[in-house]
Chain A
Amino acid sequence: MKSFEELLAIKEKMKDKVAIRQASDDTRIVVGMATCGIAAGARPVLNAFVEAVAAEGLAEKVTVTQTGCIGICQYEPVVEVYAKGEEKVTYVKMTAEKAKEVVEKHIKGGTPVAEYTIGNGTL
């Protein structure tokens, strides 16, 4: 059974890590979570980003946040990546699998996955 003691143990383990994180949020991944996004599958996309960022050990530098409707509902789920010193990258028609790839290649590797971006003519 999940106990509150277990939760407190997690807290103790995390306190120091969190302090570092607050000082260095370099990259923001923003997932559109309005009706359009949710209907198109944004919930699993968001969760995939949260999990992949942690799995790749990037949680200290990267935050995953939610926003409302960006205005391009036909391309939902839409995800925007704001990296320090770089232009915003907008990913469209995202899936959980694509999210993992974006974390690996773009967030970690530094190269946007052009195939999934809004600028890509194949849409």
Chain B
Amino acid sequence: MLSCECTILIYTVTSQSKERFGIMEEFSLYVLDITMNSVRAGATDIRITLTEKDGMLTFSVTDNGCGMKAEQVKNLKDPFFTTRKTRAVGLGVPFLTMLAEQTGGGVDITSRYEGEYPESHGTTITATFGMDHIDFIPLGDMVSTVTTLIQGSPDVNFTFTHETPKGKVELSTRQLRELLGGEVSLAELEILEWIRGYLIEGYAEIKTEN
């Protein structure tokens, strides 16, 4: 894991070709990457929120996963702290932090480690970005990010909310699973296609510019 994450960092910095191993150029990929941390932390409830307001984008993920100790949280933004102790986090947070800080925002992480908070553990990461800043990137294919997460973890309760000044796109996989009565997995292609269509229609209604 350590070698893995150093490799990608080096490639990101030195690669001549942005097509391979470029820094992620769609915001939706950061959403996917950061949320995968919650999946790997064993979370069963994951709330993803995107709020666009006054030119700022606030992105947050709240989970009930295993959480992290205070020391681990403190060192999350340092890519070279990626030892076995923190392998579950890796470069995702440094990438996110770089983009946030480049665009006049920042990243805040709070976490309650399951060893200390057996009844109320989990992590919340909140990042803000200046959407009008020249270094901000297109939001990209948020629908594919959501369907990819559901495909990989059909039993996790994902709550996805994207709020813009023009309206809101929302999805709760718990609600969908209740409708399906546990007989059909959300990872079935037909169900994923329905979810994709549902989200695309939601986005069409609020007509996001990106």
Chain A residues with a Cβ under 8 A of chain B: 1-2, 4, 6-8, 10-11, 13-15, 18, 33-36, 38-40, 43-44, 46-47, 50-51, 53-54, 59, 64-66, 68-69, 71-74, 76, 93
Contacts and interface: CB of A to CB of B under 8 A. Distances in A.
B12 A39 contact: yes
A77 to B, nearest CB: 10
B13 interface: no
Interface residues of B, number: 45
A38 to B, nearest CB: 5
Given A18-B184, A73-B7, A76-B21, 5 more contacts: A18-B185, A18-B188, A39-B12, A39-B24, A43-B141
Tell me whether chain A's interface is mostly helix, strand or loop, or mixed. Answer: helix
Contacts, number: 114
Contact of B3 (A14, A33, A71): A71
Contacts of B5: 35-36, 69, 73
B152 A38 contact: no
Contact of B152 (A15, A33, A44, A74): A33
B20 interface: yes
